[in-house]
Structure formats: C-alpha cells, structure tokens
Amino acid sequence: MSNPLIDDIENQRPQHHVYDCATGETTITPYTDEEWEQQKANRAAFEAEEQARLEAEAQAEIDAAEGRQKLLDLGLTEAQVAALLG
C-alpha cells in the first residue's frame, strides 16, 4: 500500500541550488525535462539492479544450504562438512 504523501514527495521535480560566493546569492532552478527524465531512469535502473542483487544473495544462501545438506546426505558428519566449507 502506497503512502500518498511519500508518493507526492518522490514525484516532485528536484531543483538545482547554486550559491554564488561573490554575491552571496542563491539561485534555485528546477531540473529540465531532460534532467528529470534521466533522474527517473537512473532511479528505475538502480531499483532493478538492487532487486537483482537481493535475489542473487537469497539464491546464494539457498544454494549454500542445499549444498551443505547434500554433503550431510552423503554421510559426512557435521564436523567434516564444517571443515570442508569453513
């Protein structure tokens, strides 16, 4: 379930804040359409990569547990499996 307040914040267009040391003035300009689209594309790519990384980690844990169990099923003791796998 999504939170409308969070969704609204996440969909707001970011802004550039530029501070001029010589004048002491701050200029605020919103992202251009191109910058905003690129920002959204970067975020989507990051989220997809993060999901793939999490899935790979979960699969590695499953594979390790299954491999350990197969060694035990072959008749090795827990101590032997621990010595082999560390």
pLDDT tens sequence across 50-60: 999 999 999 99
What parts of the chain have a pLDDT lower than 70?
Answer: 1-2, 4-10
- Predicted pLDDT of residue 5: 64
Residue 2, both tokens: 């999504």
| Structural domain boundaries enclosing 30 | 4-85
Q: Please answer whether residues 78 and 72 qualify as being in contact, where contact means their C-beta atoms are separated by less than 8 angstroms.
A: yes
How many domains is the chain partitioned into structurally? Answer: 1
Answer whether 0.75 is exceeded by the pTM.
no
CA atoms lying within 13 Å on the CB side of residue 80:
9
- Predicted pLDDT of residue 8: 65
| CB atoms inside a 10 Å sphere around CB 35 | 13
- Predicted pLDDT of residue 9: 64
